[in-house]
Amino acid sequence: MMKKALPLLLISLFLLPFYGAADSDPKVELTYLTEVTPGRLITIDVKLTNTTTEMLWDLKGVIDSNDIPVEIKNYVVIVEGEKDFPTTDLDHSINIQDQSSIRLSIQITENATAGTYKIPLKMKGEIGNCREGCIPYLLVKEIEFKVVKEYPSIKIEMSSYPNEVLQGQNIDIPFKISNYGNNYGNNIKISAPTNNNNFTTFLDVDTIGLLKSNESRNITLNIAAKGDAASGSYKTDILVEYFDPFGTKKATTQSISFTIKDSAIVKEAEGYYAKGNEYFTNKKYSNALEEYEKAKEAYQELGLTAKVSEVDARIDLVTTLIESTKANISPIIYILFAVLLSAVAMELGVLVGTLFRKPKSQRSSNIPKNED
């Protein structure tokens, strides 16, 4: 019995590669991206070759949301999850050794976490060499890919800059922001916030829409010391805020140190103002006006609008007092001048009258003298 069975077994093993096993599966080739970032659409090309010994009927490819693992389910959106494999025959069969292809697609959400994702892909239909004798058929393959999160890395890079500024003057501080990450940063805001009353800050660029990987942008920070700023050491910060592609807000800062020094112009302005006040106290209004005008010009150069307004008020007051003084003394001068002119006229009249008056002549007597 054993001797008869052995030749039959050897014949079967010899013929099996040529006919294939009845319960073998078709060859399925999947083509898709195996590494993606959040927000990416993944297309899955499915190529099926019927390598079985039977015909495949009404075969379709299906990605079922119920089959997606719960830990990644919220990060995967099925775009095209079910398609029939096209056939050349009207009976919807895929013959032995025939090929058929479909394309399915899924979307990875923007907030997807990094990691390895595995999603079942079902090929289901019927198998058999005749429609009446077909049995249900199911083949499951696995779509496996990695979600990789690549982040921007924005840095503030400083160049050499002047670290001293005089009162009423300003300095420019150049710097560069660069993205050394593998993804873009967007909605970028640059600021140099300060609540210090001794200086102000200004940026020539304060917003950038998008900064791609390995891109840079040159920016200048202007620091202006106020004319009446107290001398000393100061500090401010450059703040860069941005969002990564996944909606996470990030920030980076860079500290800036500088010194405000006394300015000769400030001292001159204060000297003019003090001298003007001294003349004003002594009621030397014309001299006071001259000093106030000098002080105003110096304060204007320093950009001290409040001091300019203060000096302007003093100039208006002094001008009014000068005009008032002129108005009060003018009638007296006229009266004195008139009196003086009148006195001079009288004196001149007397003098002229004296010069032109004729001397009195002696009269000769016609009365005969008595010659007794």
Task: Mark whether 220 and 282 lie in a shared domain.
Answer: no
Is residue 365 a part of any domain in this protein? no
CB-CB contact of 50 with 94 (8 Å): yes
Tell me, yes or no, whether 229 lies in a domain.
Answer: yes
Domain holding 238, by residue range, is 154-262
Closest CA relative to residue 223, chosen from 266, 263, 256 = 256
Domain co-membership, 161 together with 142: no
Considering the domain boundaries, does residue 6 fall inside one? no
pLDDT of residue 304: 74
Q: Tell me, yes or no, whether 348 lies in a domain.
A: yes
Please, what is the average pLDDT of the chain?
A: 85
- Residues 244, 312, single domain; the answer is no
List all residues 6 or more positions away from 254 whose beta carbon is below 8 Å from its beta carbon. Answer: 156, 158, 175, 237, 238
60 or 349: whose pLDDT is higher? Answer: 60
The pLDDT, as a whole number, for residue 337 is 61
Same domain, 132 and 161: no
364 belongs to a structural domain: no
Res. 329 pLDDT band, cuts 50 70 90: low
Q: Are 308 and 296 in contact (CB under 8 A)?
A: yes
**For residue range 4-34, what is the model confidence (pLDDT) as tens digits?**
334 333 433 443 343 333 458 999 999 999 9
Asked if residue 232 is part of any domain, the answer here is yes
pLDDT of residue 47: 97
CB 202 within 8 A of CB 141: no
Report the alpha-carbon distance of residue 171 to residue 285 in Å, rounded.
40
Same domain, 69 and 80: yes
In this predicted structure, what is the pLDDT of residue 349? 65
DSSP 167: T
Mean pLDDT, rounded, for 79-93: 88
Q: Where are the alpha helices (DSSP H) in the chain?
A: 2-19, 264-281, 285-302, 305-356
CATH classification at residue 189? 2.60.40.10
In this predicted structure, which of 17-21, 108-112, 139-143, 242-246 has the lowest mean pLDDT?
A: 17-21
Count of domains for the chain: 3
Residue 56 in domain: yes
Same domain assignment for residues 245 and 278: no
Q: Give the model's pLDDT for residue 278.
A: 93
Question: Residue 345 burial by CB count (10 A; 0-12/13-18/19+): exposed, middle or buried?
Answer: exposed
pLDDT at residue 315 in the model:
93
Residue 254 sits in the same domain as residue 295: no
Confidence of residue 324 (pLDDT cuts 50, 70, 90): confident
Angle at 25 between CA 20 and CA 30, to 5 degrees: 130
| pLDDT reported for residue 133 | 74
DSSP state of 282: T
Could you tell me what percent of the chain has a pLDDT over 90?
Answer: 58
> Is the pLDDT assigned to residue 286 strictly greater than 80?
yes
Beta bridge partners of 254: 238
Strand partners, 61: 83, 123
Kindly report each contact of residues 140-145 with a partner whose C-beta sits within 8 Å and lies 24 or more positions away, as own/partner.
Answer: 141/28, 141/30, 142/118, 143/30, 143/32, 143/44, 143/63, 143/117, 143/118, 143/119, 144/34, 144/116, 144/117, 144/118, 144/119, 145/32, 145/33, 145/34, 145/35, 145/36, 145/42, 145/116, 145/117
Q: Are residues 67 and 168 in the same domain?
A: no
Taking only the tens place, the pLDDT of each residue in 209-229 is: 999 999 999 999 999 999 889
* Shared domain check, 182 and 93: no
Q: Which of 213, 172, 205, 174 is nearest to 188 (CA)?
A: 205
Q: Which two tokens stand for residue 226?
A: 């106020």
Q: For residue 221, what pLDDT is reported?
A: 97
End position of a domain, from candidates 215, 232, 262 = 262
Token duo for residue 305? 């609008």
Residues 237 and 328 placed together within one structural domain of the fold: no
Question: Where is average pLDDT lowest: 17-21, 136-140, 277-281?
Answer: 17-21
Same domain, 250 and 279: no
Q: 296 and 279 in one domain?
A: yes
- What's the burial of 224, exposed, middle or buried (CB within 10 Å: 0-12/13-18/19+)? middle
Q: What is the DSSP string of 173-229?
A: EEEEEEE-SSS-EEEEEEE-----TTEEEEES--EEEEE-TT-EEEEEEEEEE-TTP
Over residues 145-159, mean pLDDT? 93
Q: Let me know if residue 3 belongs to a domain.
A: no
pLDDT per residue over 175-209, tens digit each? 999 999 989 999 999 999 999 999 999 999 999 99
Backbone angle region of 235, left / alpha / beta, with phi > 0 → left and psi within -120 to 50 → alpha: beta
The CB density around residue 221, as the number of other CB atoms within 10 Å, is 22
Token reading at 163: 């670290």
- Calpha distance 227→306 (Å, rounded): 10
Q: Which residue has the higher pLDDT, 325 or 135?
A: 135
Q: What is the model's pLDDT at position 179?
A: 97
Residue 48, pLDDT score: 96
